[in-house]
Amino acid sequence: MNKISPMMEQYKMIKAQHPDKLLMFQVGDFYELFYEDAELAAKEMDIALTTRDGGSDNPIPLAGVPIHAVETYLNKLLRKGYKVVICDQVESAAQAKGLVRREITRIMTPGTITDQEMLEESRNNYLAVVINRHNRYFGLAAIDISTGDFQITEHNGEGAWEVISDRLRRLQPSEILCSSPDLEQLCRDQVKVNNSGLIETLSHIPDPAEAKKLIAAQWGEKTWQELNLERYPLAAASAAAGLTYLQLLQQLPGEGKHFHQLELYFSYKNMAIDSITSRNLELTQSIREGSRQGSLLGLIDRCMTGMGRRLLRRRVEQPLLEQAEIEKRLDALSELLQQPLRRRDLRKKLQDVFDLERFCSRLSYQRVNARDLVALKKTLLQLKPVKTILDDFEPVLIREINNSLPAFEDLITLLDRALVEEPPLSLKDGGLFKEGYNEEVDRLKTISDEGSTMLLDFEKNERSRTGIKSLRVGYNRNFGYFIEVTRSNLELVPPGYHRKQTLVNAERYTTEELNSMEEEIVGARDKLAALEYTLFEELRSKIGTYTGNLLSAAFELARIDCLQCLAETAETNNYCRPYFSDKGRMAVKQARHPVVEQLAFERFVPNDITVYKEQHYLLVITGPNMAGKSTYIRSAALIAIMAQMGSFVPADQAEMPLFDRVFARVGASDDLSRGQSTFMVEMQETAEILRESTPDSLIILDEIGRGTSTYDGMSIARSVLEYISRKIKAKTLFSTHYHELTNLEGELPGIRNYTMAVKEKGKQVIFLRQVIPGRADKSYGINVARLAGVPLDVLVRAEAILTELELAASTAAEHQLTLLPMVTEPVTGCGAEIEIVEQLRELDLNRITPLEAIQKLYELQKALLDIEQPDGGEG
């Protein structure tokens, strides 16, 4: 049996403390993983798997990565849902007596990342904690330790889980902690976490007394009373469970206030937009690519800072309900638009602002280096010019931001006096501080920089004093500095020389003065590096006292960044300011879809949108596929959302009501993971809309009932229309291919028909993209199929079937249509047309003269005319 080495004993002892995590164990310049960790890491990180003690009977599996490249590999593991423990050497191998001392310095999980390189700048990285009691009471905490964002909420009763699960889908957390295995399974079934699948059960849930103590320790005792958390025990429990988890991971700083003020969030405080609507409207990511590009957020985002981008995302997802607050934002946008030169200056200043919010997080965890502090100084230097620019703006909101933005003059002075402009990346190699910051640092620098000169002067003085012309001062790694004297001059060696080493032709000596100089010169760099590191830690701690003010500055900079971003977008895309009235009417002139108009290959055709409160509040829109129905109804929803987030909108003029919710059921797809068909998903989404909407909601419904048989689908679509018309009376845009539903205009209150204008040219159809009052009399499906390149045989057969179906419908309106027989041959009488098309397809224009081409074209045209107008035949 092989005896295990002391280092492997050390590894096993540390690994036993964290059996559920991958342990990255520093060995010199590498992080190494052993046993099962090595096998797993080699597979997941795509690195070589080797062994330690390869010559023994039981070699240990080993995988390693260089320390300088570890962040890349860490990112891979965390994105795949693994937890990782970093165990560093905390003393140098040269100074260690026996085994090098190692300690855990970081414990990382997907939801607790703070490293800038591993995070997406424009979105939060949430750790979610879900608490459940009796299957009807739910508490949720959403924590982003990289920004200090900490939100809690609580819901109970029927539908509580639906609210919580929808919130989770919107947050897209990287990690979810659950209060029970059953809740963990529920989350796995119904919530898709961001990047990874890390969902697990909590080991401990604090009781109410413990929760109150933890929250008071983090935010102060007043927070409990101010948020009235006695009424929301599960929200408080989720917050406390999150804090406990962070403590276990060593991710809760012991000093200073890392998190923003605790936020008790309820969706009714903002316009409600569920995750389905957000997906269907492509608010933050496109359906096809799943990326920002092609989404509303991707289009309007012209922010210059990471804080601004994250705040903009939140505003897109949570539009306002208070008109006064919306108007404050719109007033600010109006003036920013009127002063484009000052806005350009503001953008330039914001461009040099780094991510203060995430800097504060790393500062709390003492993970900032000297370069970060220099970047902080450069950011703070932009504040005064930003404030100067904002001084010239009158709107209340801009003045609020300006007055709340600190100047940090004392902090700028401190940083400027302390650090060199381009410090090294490592904190332990010295070279961090400017001359004059610390006398001892200056002295050690002098010794370190001038050591060679001191030794040359010493050598010159010793030659003069002893009369030994060949005397020299040298250095040996094993023996240090020495004075070398050849054997022919040994009688001139003075009494103060102490023999250090004997050579064949010389003797080497040292003196007390040389020993003193050696101690100074050799130790100066080490002492300098150690002293600078100590001074840097003191400086970092001093800057940590500014964390609260720095977070406030980050928030104000994010607010002004959002405003200038929306102003820039409004100017670039020619948006107008929306006007809110109490008439309850949505009247938009020349409305445009903000994303489609930018991505369209052809000129975008704007349309008016007019939806009243008590009359014509339910628009039934018919027309062929590809004519623009979906684009039209989505543009209404996007304009409503943009208006209430305080943005200008893509239109010439917009009169708006305040909507409490926006619903959009546009298209559907199978949910195979839950065994649900397209139609089931469609009906669930429709049910949710009918259950939750109010007269103040905006509903967008596209092709309800198309996932089942024609008569079932039409019945459901009509019933939904009747329910909205008579019971909900919400403003609704309802697109459909069931032309029979247009008969409801005049029969049901609030309904008005609109259709997409088209122009027919023979068997071709031209989509005009114009919405006009009235109804479509046909679907033009075969025309669309022709545009899509469907084979001519199929088109001809489809036209024949359509004619037969229309005839059957007109002669027996109440008779259920039966399926027509399948055919394998072209329809009788169409063979000649198909033959002509085949001749055209086979014609090689590269091998035919112009005259021959004209002759062939004449023959084909004549043959076609003979078919269409035969002599004496049927017309």
pLDDT at 464 over 90: yes
Q: Which two tokens stand for residue 84?
A: 């990782």
Window from 430-434, 504-508, 663-667 with minimum mean pLDDT: 663-667
Q: Which residue has the tokens 């081409």?
A: 853
Give the pLDDT score at 55: 60
> Mean pLDDT highest for which of 219-233, 514-528, 829-843?
219-233
Beta-carbon count within 10 A of 474 CB: 13
> How far is the C-alpha of 826 from the C-alpha of 597, rounded, in Å?
42
Question: β-pairing, 653-656 with 586-591?
Answer: antiparallel
Give the pLDDT score at 762: 65
Q: What secondary structure does DSSP assign to 798-844, as a single string?
A: HHHHHHHHHHHHHH-TTSPPPPPPP-SSPPTT-HHHHHHHHHHHH--
Window from 409-413, 423-427, 706-710 with minimum mean pLDDT: 706-710
> How far is the C-alpha of 560 from the C-alpha of 308, rounded, in Å?
8
Confidence at 54, pLDDT banded by 50, 70, 90 = low
Give the pLDDT score at 409: 93
Give the pLDDT score at 237: 95
Give the chain's end-to-end CA distance (angstroms, integer). Answer: 100
Give the residue-averaged pLDDT of 229-237: 94
Give the pLDDT score at 668: 53
Residues of the chain with pLDDT > 90, as a percent, come to 54
Minimal CA–CA distance to 120: which of 355, 350, 470, 277?
355
Confidence at 4, pLDDT banded by 50, 70, 90 = confident
Q: What are phi and psi of 250, to 5 degrees?
A: 60, 35
Q: What is the pLDDT of residues 148-186, one digit of tens each?
A: 999 999 999 888 998 899 899 889 899 999 999 999 998
Beta-carbon contacts of 157 under 8 Å, excluding residues fewer than 6 positions away, are 136
Q: Which residue has the higher pLDDT, 475 or 93?
A: 475
- Please provide the average confidence, as pLDDT, over all residues in the chain: 86
Q: What is the DSSP letter of 53?
A: S
Give the pLDDT score at 875: 35
Beta-carbon contacts of 303 under 8 Å, excluding residues fewer than 6 positions away, are 309, 312, 561, 562, 565
| HEC assignment per residue over 369-421 | CHHHHHHHHHHHCCHHHHHHHHCCCCCHHHHHHHHHCCCCHHHHHHHHHHECC
Give the residue-averaged pLDDT of 634-640: 97
Confidence at 682, pLDDT banded by 50, 70, 90 = confident
Evaluate whether 634 touches 593 at the Cβ level (below 8 Å): yes
Q: Which two tokens stand for residue 95?
A: 């100074």
Give the residue-averaged pLDDT of 296-312: 96
Helix (H) or strand (E) holding 782: helix 781-787
pLDDT at 95 over 70: no
pLDDT at 819 over 50: no
Give the pLDDT score at 248: 87
Confidence at 254, pLDDT banded by 50, 70, 90 = low
CA 278 to chain centre: 15
Q: What is the pLDDT of residues 497-547, one digit of tens each?
A: 999 999 999 999 999 999 888 877 777 877 888 899 999 999 999 999 999
> Mean pLDDT highest for which of 458-472, 765-779, 861-875?
458-472
Confidence at 197, pLDDT banded by 50, 70, 90 = low
> How far is the C-alpha of 194 from the C-alpha of 171, rounded, in Å?
9
Buried b (16+ CB within 10 A) or exposed e, 102-132: beeebbbbbbbbbbbebbeebbbbbbbbbbb
Residue 324, classified by CB atoms within 10 Å of its CB into exposed (0-12), middle (13-18) or buried (19+), is: exposed
Confidence at 824, pLDDT banded by 50, 70, 90 = very low
Give the pLDDT score at 93: 67
Confidence at 859, pLDDT banded by 50, 70, 90 = confident
Give the pLDDT score at 234: 95
Beta-carbon count within 10 A of 95 CB: 8
pLDDT at 675 over 70: no
Give the pTM.
0.82
Q: What is the pLDDT of residues 434-459, one digit of tens each?
A: 999 999 999 888 887 778 788 899 99
Q: What is the pLDDT of residues 731-754, one digit of tens each?
A: 999 998 888 888 899 889 999 999
CA distances from 94 to 31, 113, 426 (A): 19, 33, 19
Question: What's the one-letter identity of residue 531?
Answer: L
Helix (H) or strand (E) holding 183: helix 181-190
Give the pLDDT score at 196: 57
Q: What are phi and psi of 788, to 5 degrees?
A: -80, -10
Q: Which two tokens stand for residue 458?
A: 């010493």
Q: Which two tokens stand for residue 398?
A: 């801009």
Beta bridge partners of 699: 663, 732
Residues of the chain with pLDDT > 70, as a percent, come to 90
Evaluate whether 128 touches 379 at the Cβ level (below 8 Å): no
Give the residue-averaged pLDDT of 265-269: 81
